C-alpha cells in the first residue's frame, strides 16, 4: 500500500510515523508547496519519516491521498489534484474547514472518479498519531473500511455525504477553542489589572473540576503554540455558523484571539511559572497596539 500526503505538516508527520510503526510495509510519499521554495526543514522532516518527496503529479501512483494543507488552501489543493487523480484512489480531506468547503472539494474530486472522504480529526494528533479519533463522512466502501480497520484507525463513519464529519468538528470547535479564548482573555485581563493570583484562586474554587491553575496554563500555552492554525479553523467555524444563519460573530472573535496569541507566541518559550508567561504575553500584546 502507498499513501501520499498533500502537505507534510504536523498531522501528516504524526500519521506517517504511527502508521509506519503499525505496518512497516506501507510506503509513503508527499508533496508540499514549501519544497518549491527550498524549505530545508520540510525536506528534512520527510527524510526523517521515510517519506519520498515528489512533485504533486507523482502522487498519482498512491492508493490513498491525505490532504493536510492549511485551511485556506484545501479547495485549491483538491482542484490542483484533479490533474492527476484517478478512479480507485481514495482522497481523505482531513483539513479543518466548513461543510460547504468540503462539499465543494468533494464535487471536484468526485469528477475524476476518485473517492472523496471527509475526515475530521477530533483531538490533537500527538501522541496517538493516526489512532487519534476521527469521524468520516462520504461514500465509504467495504475495501476502504477494512483497510482503515487493518491499519488500526480509530474512526467512526457518521454519514454518507461529505461535510457531515467536519460539521461536527466545526460546532465542537466553537466550544473547545472558545473555552481557550475565554481562558486566555481572562488571564490577560487579570494580569493587566494586577489581580492574576486572586482570579486563579477564585476560578479554581468555583470550578474545582477544571483543575486550575494547571488547566489554565495548558489552555494558555496551547494557544501560543497553535493559535495561528486554530484561528484559521475558527474562521471556517464562523463560515459554518453564517451558512446556518446563526451567530458567526463569536467564532470570529475566537479566531481573533487565537490569531493574536499565535503571533505573540513566536519566539516565546513558556516559563516554568504560568504567571511569568502571561506577563510576557501581556507586554507583547500591549506593545503591538
CATH number of the domain enclosing 71:
3.40.50.720
**Domain ends where: 117, 136, 160?**
160
**197-214 residue pLDDT tens:** 999 999 999 999 989 888
136 lies in the same domain as 116: yes
* Alpha carbon distance 152, 33 (integer Å): 29
Same domain, 13 and 141: yes
Has residue 275 got a pLDDT over 90? Answer: no
Q: Mean pLDDT of all residues in the chain?
A: 94
Same domain for 249 and 202: yes
pLDDT at 272: 61
Mean pLDDT, residues 119-127: 96
- Average pLDDT rounded to a whole number, residues 47-60: 96
User: Are 31 and 148 members of one domain?
Assistant: yes
By residue range, what is the domain housing residue 68? Answer: 2-160
| In the block, residue with C-alpha cell 478512479 | 87
Q: What is the pLDDT of residue 269?
A: 67
9-19: burial string, b at 16+ Cβ within 10 Å, e else: bebbbbbbbbb
Residue with cell 474554587: 205
Last residue in a domain, options 122, 143, 160: 160
Residues 126, 51 share a domain: yes
How many structural domains compose the chain?
2
134-137/155-159 β-pairing: parallel
- Say if residue 9 is in the same domain as residue 152: yes
Residues 58 and 156 reside in one and the same domain: yes
Which of 127, 160, 193 is the endpoint of a domain? 160
Residue 268, pLDDT above cutoff 90? no
pLDDT beyond 80 at 119? yes
What pLDDT is stored for residue 16 in this prediction?
98
User: For the segment 234-250, what is each residue's pLDDT rounded down to a tens digit?
Assistant: 999 999 999 999 999 99
Share of the chain above pLDDT 70, in %: 98
Task: Write the DSSP string, 157-206.
Answer: EEESSTTHHHHHHHHHHHHHHHHHHHHHHHHHHHHHHT-HHHHHHHHHHH
Are both 152 and 233 inside the same structural domain? Answer: no
User: Residue 263 — left, alpha, or beta (φ > 0 → left; ψ -120 to 50 → alpha)?
Assistant: alpha
pLDDT score of 155 more than 80: yes
Name residues whose C-beta falls within 8 Å of residue 215's C-beta, 6 or more positions apart in sequence.
183
Same domain? For 154 and 34 the reply is: yes
Whether residues 155 and 182 fall in one domain? no
Rounded to an integer, what distance in angstroms lies between the CA atom of residue 199 and that of residue 213?
10
Q: Does residue 144 sit in the same domain as residue 10?
A: yes
Higher pLDDT, 24 or 276: 24
pLDDT of residue 271: 62
Instruction: Assign residue 188 the CATH number of its domain.
Output: 1.10.1040.10
C-alpha cell at 12: 501528516
Same domain, 67 and 85: yes
What is the pLDDT at residue 281? Answer: 85
Amino acid at each position: 500500500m502507498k499513501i501520499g500526503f498533500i502537505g507534510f505538516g504536523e498531522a501528516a508527520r504524526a500519521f506517517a510515523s504511527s502508521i509506519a510503526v503499525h505496518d512497516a510495509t506501507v510506503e509513503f510519499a508527499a508533496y508540499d508547496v514549501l519544497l518549491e521554495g527550498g524549505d530545508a526543514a520540510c525536506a528534512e522532516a520527510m527524510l526523517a519519516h521515510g517519506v519520498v518527496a515528489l512533485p504533486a503529479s507523482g502522487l498519482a501512483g498512491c492508493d490513498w491521498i491525505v490532504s493536510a494543507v492549511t485551511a485556506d488552501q484545501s479547495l485549491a489543493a483538491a482542484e490542483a489534484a484533479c490533474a492527476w487523480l484517478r478512479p480507485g484512489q481514495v482522497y481523505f480531506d482531513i483539513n479543518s474547514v466548513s461543510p460547504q468547503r468540503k462539499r465543494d472539494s468533494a464535487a471536484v474530486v468526485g469528477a475524476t472518479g476518485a473517492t472523496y472522504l471527509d475526515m475530521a480529526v477530533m483531538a490533537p494528533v500527538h501522541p496517538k498519531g493516526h489512532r487519534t479519533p476521527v469521524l468520516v463522512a462520504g461514500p465509504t466502501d467495504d475495501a476502504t473500511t477494512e483497510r482503515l480497520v487493518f491499519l488500526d484507525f480509530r474512526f467512526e463513519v457518521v454519514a454518507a455525504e461529505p461535510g457531515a464529519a467536519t460539521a461536527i468538528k466545526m460546532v465542537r470547535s466553537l466550544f473547545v477553542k472558545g473555552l481557550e479564548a475565554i481562558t486566555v482573555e481572562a488571564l490577560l485581563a487579570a494580569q493587566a489589572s494586577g489581580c492574576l493570583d486572586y482570579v486563579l484562586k477564585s476560578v479554581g474554587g468555583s470550578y474545582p473540576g477544571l483543575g486550575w491553575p494547571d488547566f489554565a496554563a495548558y489552555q494558555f500555552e496551547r494557544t501560543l503554540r497553535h493559535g495561528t492554525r486554530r484561528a484559521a479553523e475558527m474562521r471556517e467555524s464562523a463560515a459554518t455558523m453564517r451558512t446556518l444563519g446563526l451567530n458567526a460573530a463569536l467564532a470570529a472573535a475566537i479566531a481573533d484571539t487565537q490569531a493574536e496569541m499565535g503571533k505573540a507566541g513566536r519566539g516565546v518559550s513558556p516559563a516554568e511559572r504560568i504567571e511569568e508567561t502571561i506577563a510576557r504575553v501581556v507586554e507583547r500584546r500591549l506593545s503591538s497596539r
